[in-house]
Amino acid sequence: MRSVTLLALQLWSAVVVAAPTPSTLDACKAIQSAVPGKLFYPGDGPYKQENSDYYNIGLSELMPACIVRPTLTPEVAEIVKILNKFADVKFAVKSGGHDPNAGHSSVRDGVLIALSQMKGVEYDKAKKVVYLKPGGQWSGVIKELEKDGVTIVGGRIGAVGLGGYLMQGGLSYLSSQYGMAADQIVEYETVLANGTIAHINQQTNKDLVVAMRGGGDQFGITTKFTLTAYPIGKIWGGIRIFTQRDPTFAALHDFIGGQKDPKAAIIFTTMSNPLGGSLFLVFFFYDGEKPPAGTFGKFEQLRPLIDMVKVQPYSDMVSLAPSSSTGVTMRTAFRSITLPYLASRPGWYSEIEAKWANITKSKLSGLAALTGPQHTIAFQPFGPLIGRASEARGGNSMGIKGSDPPRFILEITSLWSDKKDDEAAQGYARALTEWIEQQLKEVSGQASAKGDKVADYLPYFMNDAFAEQNVTGSYRDYERFKRAKAGVDPSGFWTRAGGFKY
């Protein structure tokens, strides 16, 4: 009896919750007549295709009322003008759909503006810039530009989308050399809240450009990026897998604190070893065919279990990792915290990793451990070389500087398969960052007392953050950026859309 009532309740709520409001349906209709042939409803092929193209498969369940796929910037402007007339209609903007946060590039019962059909990359040889539209993936863009021997600062995993990556910062193999991806944007073609198509560039709108670099989707819909291009040839790189815990973490510690060569980069990922203990999967990258001896410090003395490093085209390097957005059929969440390098605490990474293993293990057993959250965390060096390169290009909203002590960005990725584990999986990641935050003051204080130079400004990295984290609020110049946002969005139009808010 109870279960019948429950079932009825669930059905009832499913029906009620899943129903778009009449004004949402009116908005869909108005958009359909403004951009004929480009708006789709559940049941239409393009709707199904767009709605299933999320890295986090759980987002497909949100089901927008309609999906519009504009191909031209004036169409985007039209759509924005129409949405202004429907003040209670929710909407979201999607490029690649790789942001795993519900409601960012996805929207339940609202209007989804999908930019997947606005694709194109063009190299301007005379100006040494690239014009890039927001649809598509990094692998295609990097391969296309490689024909001209150039590249832009972009994704490390080929399947990642362009628009969100660029709007939310963008950490690249090339970041120690040139800064973050957003630092390369010299001009934005952006549809503002009132439907105006604006060209926002470093000469005329310096402050706005800085606010928008890593500021997310709250300034407008960018339909074209102009980015600085750089030469690229064959590179040295690939994955090495290590098993020796202490020596591998020691090598990581030295690299985070002492990276000298801006052409080098690593991503350090840990995952549980099915045979017990952990595996340390490290992506190595060097912009050149042969890194000088010592570039990767103690890593060079370690013997990997598996070694896939080789000289290869840059486009092959970004395509090697398991990446396909359609191939992944897991529910997933990111969560991130930016942490200071503590010279006197080389064991910190190991402590953090052990805690993460404990948090996830203690709550899962048997079969659940196989289908439940997988614990992978990544330690991403975020050192002064990146700050220096960023400053040289006018800076971004994270406001990192060359004079800052080294930091690293911890990224927690949870993968799970069952909807009923959503809360639990997100809770594990939250428990880890809370545990770190609790001890942060103490361990930083201890390190300072020992004479370490410890970074105390620790902005979150938007591209790796969980929706509830106050990313914009962690920026030093939050108040200034908030005013800049209000300047181009006086009515708070974008606050209705998903994404990290101001």
Ligand X SMILES: Cc1cc2nc3c(=O)[nH]c(=O)nc-3n(C[C@H](O)[C@H](O)[C@H](O)COP(=O)(O)OP(=O)(O)OC[C@H]3O[C@@H](n4cnc5c(N)ncnc54)[C@H](O)[C@@H]3O)c2cc1C
Query: Per rule CB under 6 A, is residue 192 in the interface with ligand NAG?
Result: yes
Q: Choose between 140 and 473: whose C-beta lies nearer to ligand NAG.
A: 473
Q: What is the 3-state secondary structure (H, E, C) of 50-89?
A: HHHCCCCHHHHHCCCCEEECCCCHHHHHHHHHHHHHCCCC
Minimum separation from the CB atom of position 340 to ligand NAG (A): 19
Segment interacting with ligand X, rule: CB under 6 A, options 29-37, 60-68, 89-97, 237-245: 89-97
251 binds ligand X per the rule CB under 6 A:
no
Between residues 139 and 270, which has the closer beta carbon with respect to ligand NAG?
270
For residue 367, the one-letter residue type is: L
How many of the other CB atoms lie within 10 Å of CB of 195?
Answer: 18
Q: Which residue do the tokens 């001009």 mark?
A: 187
Residue 168 binding target from ligand NAG, ligand X, none, CB below 5 to 8 Å by type: ligand X
Write 41-50 long-range contacts (CB < 8 A, 24+): 41/65, 41/66, 50/94, 50/112, 50/114, 50/116
Q: How far is the CB of 71 from ligand NAG (least distance, A)?
A: 23
* Dist. CA 328–CA 307, nearest whole Å: 24
Contacts of 491-494 with CB under 8 Å at 24 or more apart are 491/84, 491/193, 493/80, 493/83, 493/84, 493/193, 493/194, 494/193, 494/217, 494/218, 494/219, 494/220
What, of ligand X, ligand NAG, none, does residue 463 touch, CB below 5 to 8 Å by kind?
ligand X
CB neighbour class for 55 (10 Å; exposed up to 12, middle 13-18, buried from 19): buried
For 291, list phi and psi in degrees, rounded to 5. Answer: -65, 135
189 vs 224: CA distance, rounded Å = 5
> Which two structure tokens, joined as six digits, stand for 240?
């090495």
* Per-position x/- string for 15-54, each x denoting binding to ligand NAG as judged by CB under 6 A, each - no binding: ----------------------------------------
CB under 6 A: which stretch of 50-58, 61-69, 332-340, 470-478 binds ligand NAG?
A: 470-478
Return the residue nearest ligand NAG (CB atom): 473
Between 173 and 460, name the residue whose CB sits nearer to ligand NAG. 460
CB of 217 to ligand X, least distance (A): 3
Q: Site map for ligand NAG, 477-496, x if CB under 6 A?
A: -x---------x--------
Of 440, 446, 283, 413, nearest to 351 by C-alpha is 440
Stretch near ligand NAG under the rule CB under 6 A, chosen from 21-29, 188-196, 272-280, 284-292: 188-196
Query: Which residue in the set 51, 139, 222, 270 belongs to the binding site for ligand X (CB under 6 A)?
Result: 222
- Interface with ligand NAG: number of residues (CB under 6 A): 10
Query: Phi, psi (5° rounding) for residue 272?
Result: -70, 140
Distance from C-alpha of 476 to C-alpha of 152, rounded to nearest angstrom = 27
Interaction between residue 217 and ligand X (CB under 6 A) = yes
CB within 8 A of 366, min separation 6: which ones?
A: none
The contact pattern for ligand X, residues 275-314, with x = CB under 6 A and - = no contact, is: ----------------------------------------
Interface pattern 146-185 for ligand X (x via CB under 6 A): ---------xxx--xxxxxx-xxxxx--------------
The answer to whether 409 contacts ligand X (rule: CB under 6 A) is: no
The answer to whether 162 touches 132, Cβ cutoff 8 Å, is: yes
User: What does the binding site for ligand NAG look like in residue numbers (CB under 6 A)?
Assistant: 192, 194, 196, 354-355, 358, 470, 473, 478, 488
User: What does the binding site for ligand X look like in residue numbers (CB under 6 A)?
Assistant: 55, 92-99, 104-105, 115, 134, 155-157, 160-165, 167-171, 217, 221-222, 323, 463, 498-499
